[in-house]
Amino acid sequence: MNHNGHPFSRRRLLAGAAAASAVTVTGVATAPTAAAAPTHRSTTPLVARDRIGSAALHAPDGTASQGRFQPDFHDRLAAWLAFWSANSPRAWSAPVQVLGTVDAAGDAFVLHAVRYRRDDELHDGFAAARADGTRWAALASLHHHFPTVAVLPGGAVRVVDGPAGFTGSAAQVDFAVGACRELWGEAGAGVSRWQEYAARPLARAGQRGDVASRAGWATFTRLSLRRGLGTESYA
């Protein structure tokens, strides 16, 4: 059975992801901080959607589903998924299923899995119960696009709408420390010196800048996504 529906081509996903990433790292002086993001938008009508970007929306049990989203949040989720796919291995199709649930307010989403197709079979590019490089890759991609990312018991990941960027939250620092250790082999990384260790992948890639800046955080999360999916490596 064909689960692709109306799949995006990888070329379109690459273009969309490039545009989304450009928005992430530009406009630093005028972009609002994540802390300034509105938390209540009850006057904004929710939109019913059964897809996120190229992927059909499914409940955590795998059944086809539909959710009601804040329009800008749904757009941000689609941009995130395009970014994740554009940095995935070439042998993977565009994502065909996203398993998760949207909150009643339409501005938060709990992600359980992302599935792609290869050789006419479905595979998990991220699965909540699996602890490996793909988990860190998914977390990196979500931290790239959302200010609030929380790992829940059981491994599912909850994201909340808002402008991307480094906020200095404990969750962001914990992710950076874990990524340094698990993806980049920096066993000495810790909360007190995480920026020193996180700067090393940037330097290996020929990038300069403060990892705690908006642009530096975007670069670190992009490199970590590619590292976790095995599409980039540095000595």
The answer to whether residue 210 is domain-embedded is: no
* Whether the predicted pLDDT of 14 surpasses 50: no
If one counts the domains in the chain, the total is 1
The answer to whether residue 115 is domain-embedded is: yes
The answer to whether residue 212 is domain-embedded is: no
* Whether the predicted pLDDT of 53 surpasses 90: yes
Closest by CA to 130, choosing from 109, 167, 99, is 99
219: how many CB neighbours lie within 10 A of its CB? 23
Per-residue model confidence (pLDDT) at position 207: 84
Averaged confidence pLDDT in the chain: 85
* Whether the predicted pLDDT of 117 surpasses 80: yes
For the stretch 147-196, pLDDT in tens is: 999 999 999 999 999 999 999 999 999 999 999 999 999 999 999 999 99
Domain of residue 122: give its range. 10-163
- Token reading at 88: 């995935």
Per-residue model confidence (pLDDT) at position 233: 62
Closest by CA to 112, choosing from 80, 154, 51, 68, is 154
Per-residue model confidence (pLDDT) at position 2: 35
The answer to whether residue 75 is domain-embedded is: yes
The answer to whether residue 140 is domain-embedded is: yes
* pTM over cut 0.75: yes
Per-residue model confidence (pLDDT) at position 208: 81
Helices 214-229 and 133-145, packing angle to 10 deg: 150
Residue 233 burial (10 A CB sphere; 0-12, 13-18, 19+): exposed
Per-residue model confidence (pLDDT) at position 182: 97
* Whether the predicted pLDDT of 46 surpasses 80: yes
Q: Which of 24-38, 79-93, 143-157 has the lowest mean pLDDT?
A: 24-38
The answer to whether residue 114 is domain-embedded is: yes
The answer to whether residue 38 is domain-embedded is: yes
- Above pLDDT 70, what percent of the chain? 80
The answer to whether residue 23 is domain-embedded is: yes
